[in-house]
Amino acid sequence: MLQNWLTPSKVSTKGYAAHQLGARIRVYRPEQPGTDQAQLALIGLGAEDADAIRQKFYPLAYAFQGLRIVDLGNARRTEADFLIQLIKELLDSQLLPILIGNQPQQALAQYKAFQELQYLINLITVDERIAFHPEEGASGQHYLSEVLNSPKSRLFHLNFIGCQAHFVPPALFRYLDERQFDYMRLGQARRDIAELEPAIRDGDLMSFQLSAIRSADAPGQQAPTPSGFAGEEACQICRYAGMSDKMKAFGLYGFRATEDQRGQTAQLVAQMLWYFIDGFYHRKQDFPASMRGLSEYIVDFKGLEYQLTFWRSEKSNRWWMQVPVKTDRAYQRHRLVPCSYNDYLMACQDQLPERLLRALQRFS
């Protein structure tokens, strides 16, 4: 039962106008859970910090007619084992958890909860650093070591977005290349943020560390730095995550209310949550579980022994590439790799885009 895991938020939803989220979101109470038919579940992992964000979130506009959102309050405890079981229960209930955490390593509980469901996982991490080092053990700073080194890991693919080269040892980039993991450095991501959409669309989970946002826009974090995504870019990334039909859990981590100047970071996080929900509300349900509603495009590569098949959704105009390999059933859903129209145009010119080359290497 959820009451064993949760404590209600102290932030009131009274007094809000009908057009505001505070008047339309369901608030969890043990005697009236409000989870029936809910689709999204907001939960804080650290009551004081999460409640500061709620104070900025509830006044925002409710623009999601018919969408059922429940605010479950805050986790009673924040130990990893406790959070793993809580998040797993939400996933088992077909709720998409939206997690508000105050510690970067809480993202590990999000991953491990999904791992217990026995999926092969595509993980998206937005951060200025890469929380892993191949020669050092798991720690708060290198919490992803448990994802990359554990024999029990169900990781299929890992994609880092927004990492900054001055924080990442060069040997770590080489290690990621050897493992065919993807990373998009900050400058590349900001240069054409629309190209992030296919990478994000391929994720089952996203952990967004606030350290990926520049301190001018988000001072309320443990160790703010001057470089990073702008607030508008962070909101766009969150909207892409919400739009992905594959995305089953979303977490924002690293907010510190005690460091927040004039509530600026809480306001930005509230907007990021709003844009994730907006993306979810506008999902097209066109992840290709079948070929219905898809247009097929076949590209012949000169000098290669196979063709590449691209698919375009008639609902959203989004693109996928079919990896030309035979796979076990467990890998079937990973064979269709999200891509962009630009990737298709490059293939038509006998150029294999880097995103697609790495996909081919992973299956080989």
How many alpha carbons lie under 13 Å from residue 317 in its C-beta half-sphere?
Answer: 2
Strands 205-209 and 182-185 come out as unpaired
pLDDT of residue 330: 56
Q: Fold for 2-281, please state it.
A: Arginase; Chain A (3.40.800)
Domain extents for the chain?
2-281, 294-363
pLDDT of residue 354: 83
pLDDT of residue 136: 67
pLDDT of residue 212: 98
pLDDT of residue 117: 82
pLDDT of residue 134: 74
pLDDT of residue 142: 85
Distance, CA of 5 to CA of 136 (rounded, Å): 33
pLDDT of residue 165: 96
Annotate the chain with three-state secondary structure: CHHHCEECCCCCCCCCCCCEHHHHCEECECCECCCCCCCEEEEEECHHHHHHHHHHHCCCECCCCCCCEEEEEEECCCCHHHHHHHHHHHHHCCCEEEEEECCCCHHHHHHHHHHCCCCCEEEEEECCCCCCCCCCCCCCCCCCHHHHCCCCCCEEEEEEEEECHHHCCHHHHHHHHHCCCEEEEHHHHHHCHHHHHHHHHCCCEEEEEHHHECCCCCCCECCCCCCCECHHHHHHHHHHHHHCCCCCEEEEECECHHHCCCCHHHHHHHHHHHHHHHHHHCCCCCCCCCCCCEEEEEEECCCCCCEEEEEEECCCCCEEEECCCCCCHHHHHHCEEEECHHHHHHHHCCCCCHHHHHHHHHHC
pLDDT of residue 296: 93
Tens of pLDDT along the chain (364 residues) come to: 677 889 999 999 999 999 999 999 999 887 776 678 899 999 999 999 999 999 999 999 999 999 999 999 999 999 999 999 999 999 998 999 999 999 999 999 999 999 888 678 999 999 999 999 777 655 667 889 888 887 778 898 999 999 999 999 999 999 999 888 999 999 999 999 999 999 999 999 999 999 999 999 999 998 899 999 999 999 999 999 999 999 999 999 999 999 998 999 999 999 999 999 999 999 998 887 667 788 999 998 776 666 888 999 998 999 998 877 676 665 666 678 899 999 999 989 888 888 878 887 887 6
pLDDT of residue 353: 80
Identity at 330, one-letter amino acid code: A
Residue 359, both tokens: 């996909």
Question: In the beta sheet, which residues pair with residue 17?
Answer: none
Residue 30, both tokens: 């043990």
pLDDT of residue 33: 65
